[in-house]
Amino acid sequence: MDTATARSLKKGCIMTLIGGILWGLSGTCGQYLMQVKGLTADWLIPIRLVMAGVILLGICAIKDGKKVLYIFKKRRDWLEVVVFGIFGMSMCQYTYFTAISFSNAGTATVLEYVGPVIVMLYVSFRSGKAPEKVELFAVVLAVFGTVLLATHGNLKSLAISHQALFWGLTSAVTLAVYTVQPGRLLNKFGSMLVTGWGMLIGGILLCLFFRPWTRTVAVDGIVFSGMAFIILVGTITAFVCYLEGVKWVGPKRGSLFAAVEPVSATVFSVLLLKVSFGLMDLLGFVCILSTIFLLTMEKQR
């Protein structure tokens, strides 16, 4: 490996890690706004998605001009981006932050990372091929880790609320949809444009459903700063850093480095919000996160 290649690889690793860390910090910030400042996912997520979508599409318009609208030229394309915005982007964000409101950023993020296992099972089913041994082991680890998180080893009772478990696992399902459904669009139009339209469409839908403008929210300096951080840093900057990093290290390594997100969410929850985790929580975290490494290192089919 020559010096230039090594430098590019190092840059890509750093950028991808920064993206994952900022995503984790965004979840912790959301936890603070919901559990301390009284915001709800019904208000926070529609505002976040609309604002982030507008900014991302603005960046795309500056770079590519009228090409930002090309996604609506063909019926199949705009139908798929609408489906992605509704069932992928908006539901993934809403279920994730709702899980945080009932637990904490670390637990919610780790439960969401059961999603790649669901993707693997879906791909195996669709291809008609049985999962390989490593993939089956990843499924067992994911289930075992989820049981540890939910029960702490006592199957007669839950260690987290029913709501936290439900919304956390639902976010894993929606993450799988978010990952699989827009594949053709991503190849045709690029990640930033598809994500921007997905955020805007999904955010508008949630705004129409939850009508955040009818809710009384005490927006002080902390709330304003927190929302600005989530939108500008935890969404826009994190996304751009991750995409830039993946260009240098490739999607396989990028997925591996993105697994820093639940780790950073857990660390920030402990350091900033004084959330405590027991031994069973940490063992559950390790089991679920191990599936990411197993599935990433396994050959892509």
Residue 294's CB is within 10 A of a number of other CB atoms, namely: 18
Report pLDDT digits (tens) over 156-175: 788 899 999 999 999 999 98
pLDDT of 206:
96
The pLDDT-based confidence of 84 (bands split at 50, 70, 90) is: very high
pLDDT of 250:
72
Q: Output the DSSP codes for 135-148.
A: HHHHHHHHHHHHHH
**pTM score, whole prediction:** 0.89
pLDDT of 10:
81
Report pLDDT digits (tens) over 117-135: 888 888 888 888 888 888 8
pLDDT of 196:
93
Rounded CA gap, 153 and 136, in Å? Answer: 22
Contact in structure between 259 and 293 (CB atoms under 8 Å)? yes
pLDDT of 7:
77
pLDDT of 61:
94
In this predicted structure, which of 84-93, 105-114, 154-163 has the lowest mean pLDDT?
Answer: 154-163
| Torsion sign (Cα): 156, 162, 164, 166 | positive
Rounded CA gap, 231 and 46, in Å? Answer: 11
Report pLDDT digits (tens) over 235-281: 899 888 887 787 777 766 666 777 788 889 999 999 999 898 988 99
Report pLDDT digits (tens) over 205-224: 999 999 999 988 888 999 99
Rounded CA gap, 165 and 168, in Å? Answer: 5
pLDDT of 252:
64
Residue where the block lists tokens 């994911």:
142
For the chain, the helix, strand and coil percentages under 3-state DSSP, each to the nearest 5: 85, 0, 15
pLDDT of 227:
95
Report pLDDT digits (tens) over 49-77: 999 999 999 999 999 888 899 999 999 99
The pLDDT-based confidence of 4 (bands split at 50, 70, 90) is: low
Rounded CA gap, 89 and 206, in Å? Answer: 11
Torsion angle in degrees (nearest 10) through CA of 293, 298, 299, 301: -90
Rounded CA gap, 243 and 59, in Å? Answer: 14
Tokens matching residue 159: 């260690």
Tokens matching residue 33: 């706004």
